[in-house]
Structure formats: C-alpha cells, structure tokens
C-alpha cells in the first residue's frame, strides 16, 4: 500500500443489476463491504449496473434498496439518496463510457469490431472443433484504424479491448493473496456493445475510478475477469484499487447458490418471517469468524470486530438449519415482547383476535422458528377445529372411559373461576382421583380443545381459549362417544 492510499478515504460499493429480486448474496457482499468501509471510517455506496437492457426488470432497483434497508445496511450514496458522484445509475452515464472507450481507441488499447454474432458463433464452433479454447481471434484488430473509424460511422459495431498478447497480470488479493494470469489467455473483451451500452467490464472500471472506489470487494466469480479490469486501469493510467474476492455462497450440493435450488431473494426471507438481525448474524458467520469466538452478536458488534484478515477463502454452504436455529433464538431471546409483537403484526391472519395477542404470545414464543409460523401455532384459538373420533381413541382407554373423562372434565371446569390456577387444580385432581393415565387423559383434552397433538401447555391453552369455546369443543367431542 502506498503512502497516498493510506490517507485516502476508503470507499467500497456494491454494484447490483436490476435483473430480478435482490439476491441474498447481494446482501452478503453488501454486509462485508459496509463493514470494511465502516471499519476504516470510509463510505459504502450503491451503484446500479443496468447496462443489460435485455435482462432489465422494472422495479427491481427499488427492491434492492428496500432489501438492504430491511437488513439494516445503510449506504452513503446511491441513486435513491444522491451523492457527489451522481448519477449512480449506469444507464445515465452512457456518454462517459463512450468518451473513455474512444480514448482507448486513440491510444491503441481498443478497436472497432464489426463481426456479427453469427460470425462469432461460427468462429467459436470452429475453435472448439479444433480443440482450441473459444476466444475472439482478433480479426478486426488487423483493420486499418482509419478505415475502421469510417466504417464505425455507419456500420453496426462493438468496441473491443485490445488485451496485451504477452506478459502476465497479477495482483495481491486482500483475501486470497497473489493471483496471476497469462495475458495471452485473456479474451479481447467487448467494452461497448452494438447498442451503445457499455459492458460490465468497462463500466465497472470507469465508475469505480470516477467514484473513487478504493477497495473492490466482490464474489470470487469475478476473479477470472479481474485481469481485464486491471488492464483497463493500466491503460487509462489510473491507480488500481485493492481487490478482495469473497467466497461464493453455495447450495447444499456445493454449487453456486442459485434460485433454481433455493429461495434466494432477500424479500422471500422477509416474507417467510426471518428476522433481519438473525439473517445478518448468520451471514456474518459465513466465511468469517468472530475473534472472540462469539456466535450470536448484532451488527454493531460485527462492525466493531470485523477484520478482513479473518476472512476464509473457502466457499461456504448456506445452511438453512443453522439459519432457522438462529432465527428461533432471536425470537425467543433477543427481541423484547413488545418488539416481537410488532414484528409479528404483518404475519397475523386477518381473523386473528388481536385482543388476545398478549395472552397468546407467551404461549408460542418458544415455539416460533419463523414469524410466519404464528398462524399454524395459534389457529385453533380462533378457527373451528375438526376432531376425528379415531384421533381420540388411545389403547389406554375405551370409549366408555373417554365419555366419562369428557363428562367429568366438563363438570369440573364448570366449577372453576377460569383462572389458570383453578383450571389446573381441578383437572389435575380429577386425573389423580380417578387414577387416569396422565398422558392419555391430558392428550385427550388437548386434541379435543385444539385438534392437535402438539400445542402450548394444556391449562394455559384452555384458559386463553375461554369458557365458551372450551365447553363447546368438549361437548362436541362427548357427542362422538354418546
């Protein structure tokens, strides 16, 4: 690192494309970019790379901001909030790229190419047949610059990078150390497409330079195109930023995390009821470990302890088991009751009795893994249940006994003042007095009043369910055994 770069303000960025819902990997990369900038007192910004018109998705850009906001990762500059290097959207910077591409042509580092996609395909097929690697053969490089210049006025064309044919390109990756490539093996990348839009490779370099990005932290899938980027910085005579290639998130089958095999949009995590705090905590632990070996910590703690030298190079598998555990943990231990109530609000079904929220919540808190579980855990409190007679018939009791147990329970409950204490006292003494099998008897009542075999504790459930519904369900069950 040079003396000047030490004094330079650290600036990092993410450069997502609005081609769909924001990917969890985008959040992952954003998190580490943010932490790095924060640690160095610098800025983390968002730039929208919308140079691919074919894949552009309306509204996708807003989803990116919403998703990162949900995660709690703030950016210092961006299309939505502006900043000193605006515009932050590449489609609004076309003139800039064109100007720099032309500069490259003048310097002899780029050239016009008039090959059609059909020609290129034929060329690649031939190369593959011959057992050679598919690469642009540079046929348009031979064109006389003046002739090419003239043809470019009226013919459809692209501008290609004239990659050096010899030597090698190398850099010290902040995460991986020394990496080098033979220049001869690097393709003459298209820089400006025939529609006048730049490709990623030109745009990213120009913008990172103009926006004073000092550290490029991105996924490892970019390693093999980094030589092209470094070549561009060199040709322009610009200082090359530091590169840090983060490990790729993987599917359980070890392939690159994809929406084919998993739910990967940040919005889908939100909708399922993952807490952003839990997801962030989980993400922090992929490829990075806490210096004090903590597993559960918040974003502030991460920001305080983050250091790039604790980054792992291995691509981690995204383990939903651990994420779910983390989410349940945050629900039951990290959120206050009031906060949990607030978070649960959007997940309550329309027929949920909000008046009973405070009494129901403690009964399900330890049982929630996802916020969206609230419905399946509470539905019997406010929806009609269906109880099958067979479900009530256990080996340990015949029909007559069951009928007796139901009748006695009804009578006993009628004598209570419907407090938890009295409900429990009355039912327990009934069970003890008759020496009924504890498991059978309480399970009978459980199924009768909830329709389920797994519920919150029975007495609390009855108390919250209320007199009316409890008696109604007990009577209905009794009628099955009449």
Partner RNA sequence: GGCCCCAUCGUCUAGUGGCCUAGGACGUCAGGUUCUCAUCCUGAAGAUCCCCGGUUCGAAUCCGGGUGGGGUCACCA
> Between residues 71 and 423, which has the closer beta carbon with respect to RNA?
423
Q: List Cβ neighbours of 443 (8 Å cut-off, separation of 6 or more).
A: 394, 453
Handedness of CA 412, 416, 420, 424 (dihedral sign): negative
**What does the DSSP 8-state code read for residue 250?**
B
Q: How far is CA 314 from CA 4, 286, 323, 373, in A?
A: 32, 10, 19, 34
Instruction: Produce one character per residue of 227-259: b if its CB has 16 or more CB atoms within 10 Å, e if not.
Output: bbbbbbbebbeeeebbbbbbbbbbeeeeeebee
Q: Which of 277, 315, 270 is nearest to 175 (CA)?
A: 315
Bridging pattern class, strands 43-46 and 11-14: parallel
Please state the closest distance from residue 454 (CB atom) to RNA, in A. 4
Q: Tokens in use for 478?
A: 């009794």
Q: In 350-374, which positions are buried (b, 16+ CB within 10 angstroms) versus exposed (e)? A: eebeeeeeeebbebbbebbbbbebb
Q: Between residues 8 and 359, which has the closer beta carbon with respect to RNA?
A: 359
Would you say 8 or 316 has its CB closer to RNA?
Answer: 316
228 is catalytic: no
Phi first, then psi: give them for residue 76, nearest 5 degrees: -85, -30
Please report where in the chains the tokens 């291995």 appear, as a residue. Answer: 314
Nearer to RNA, 8 or 294 (CB): 294
Nearer to RNA among residue 92 and residue 479 (C-beta)? 92
For residues 98 and 207, the answer to whether their CB atoms sit within 8 Å is no
Residue for token pair 């490089």: 141
Rank residues 99 and 438 by Cβ distance to RNA and give the closer one: 438
Structure tokens at 81: 């909030």
Least gap, CB of 337 to RNA (angstroms): 14
Q: Which of 99, 107, 132, 259 is catalytic?
A: 259
Q: Please say whether the beta carbons of 249 and 316 come within 8 A.
A: yes
Distance CA 74, CA 170 (A): 33
Q: How far is the CB of 164 from RNA (least distance, A)?
A: 15
Give which of 144, 161, 148 is closest to 110, Cα–Cα. Answer: 161
Question: Which residues are within 8 A (CB) of 441 and not within 5 positions of it... i.e. 6 or more apart?
Answer: 397, 405, 431
Residue pointed to by tokens 């490709």: 199
Supply the minimum distance, in Å, between the C-beta of residue 293 and RNA: 6
Give 136 or 381: the residue with its C-beta nearer to RNA. 136
In the complex, the smallest distance separating the C-beta of residue 195 from RNA, rounded to whole angstroms, is 6
Give the C-alpha separation, 28 to 286, whole Å.
9
Rounded to a whole number, what is the largest CA-CA distance in the chain?
106
- For 171-202, b/e burial (b = at least 16 CB within 10 A) is bebbbbeebebebeebbbbbbbbeeebbbbbb
Residues carrying an active site annotation: 259
């Amino acid at each position: 690192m040079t003396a000047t770069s030490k004094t330079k303000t650290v600036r990092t960025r993410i450069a997502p494309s609005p081609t769909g819902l924001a990917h969890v990997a985008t959040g992952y990369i954003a998190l580490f970019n943010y932490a790095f900038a924060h640690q160095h007192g610098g800025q983390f910004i968002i730039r929208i790379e919308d140079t691919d018109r074919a894949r552009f998705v309306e509204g996708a850009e807003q989803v990116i901001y919403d998703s990162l906001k949900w995660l709690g990762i703030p950016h210092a500059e961006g299309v939505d909030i502006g900043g000193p290097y605006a515009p932050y959207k590449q489609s609004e910077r076309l003139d800039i790229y064109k100007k720099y591409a032309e500069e490259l042509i003048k310097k002899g580092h780029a050239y016009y190419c008039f090959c059609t996609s059909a020609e290129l395909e034929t060329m690649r097929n031939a190369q593959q047949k011959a057992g050679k690697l598919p690469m642009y053969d540079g046929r348009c490089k031979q064109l006389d610059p003046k002739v090419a210049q003239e043809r470019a006025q009226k013919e459809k064309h692209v501008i290609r990078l004239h990659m050096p044919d010899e030597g090698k390109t190398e850099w010290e990756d902040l995460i991986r150390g020394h990496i080098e490539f033979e220049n001869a093996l690097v393709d003459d990348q298209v820089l400006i497409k025939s529609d006048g839009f730049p490709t990623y490779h030109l745009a990213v370099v120009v913008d990172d330079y103009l926006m004073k990005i000092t550290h490029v932290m991105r996924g490892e899938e970019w390693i093999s195109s980094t030589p092209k980027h470094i070549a561009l910085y060199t040709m322009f005579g610009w200082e090359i930023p530091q590169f840090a290639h983060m490990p790729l998130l993987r599917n359980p089958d070890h392939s690159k995390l994809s929406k084919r095999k998993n739910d990967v949009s940040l919005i889908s995590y939100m909708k399922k009821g993952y807490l952003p705090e839990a997801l962030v905590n989980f993400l922090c632990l992929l490829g990075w470990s806490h210096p004090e070996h903590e597993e559960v910590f918040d974003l502030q703690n991460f920001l305080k302890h983050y250091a790039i030298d604790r980054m792992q190079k291995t691509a981690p598998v995204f383990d939903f088991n651990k994420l779910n555990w983390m989410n349940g943990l945050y629900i039951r231990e990290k959120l206050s009751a009031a906060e949990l109530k607030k978070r649960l609000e959007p997940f309550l079904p329309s027929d949920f009795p909000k008046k009973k929220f405070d009494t129901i919540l403690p009964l399900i808190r330890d049982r929630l893994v996802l916020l969206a579980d609230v419905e399946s855990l509470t539905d019997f409190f406010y929806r009609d249940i269906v109880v099958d007679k067979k479900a009530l018939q256990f080996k340990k009791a015949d029909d007559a006994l069951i009928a007796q147990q139901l009748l006695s329970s009804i009578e006993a409950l009628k004598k209570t003042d419907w407090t938890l204490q009295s409900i429990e006292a009355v039912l327990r003494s009934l069970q003890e007095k008759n020496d009924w099998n504890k498991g059978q008897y309480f399970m009978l009542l459980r199924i009768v009043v909830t329709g389920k075999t797994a519920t919150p504790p029975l007495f609390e459930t009855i108390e919250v369910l209320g007199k009316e519904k409890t008696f109604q369900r007990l009577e209905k069950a009794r009628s099955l055994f009449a």
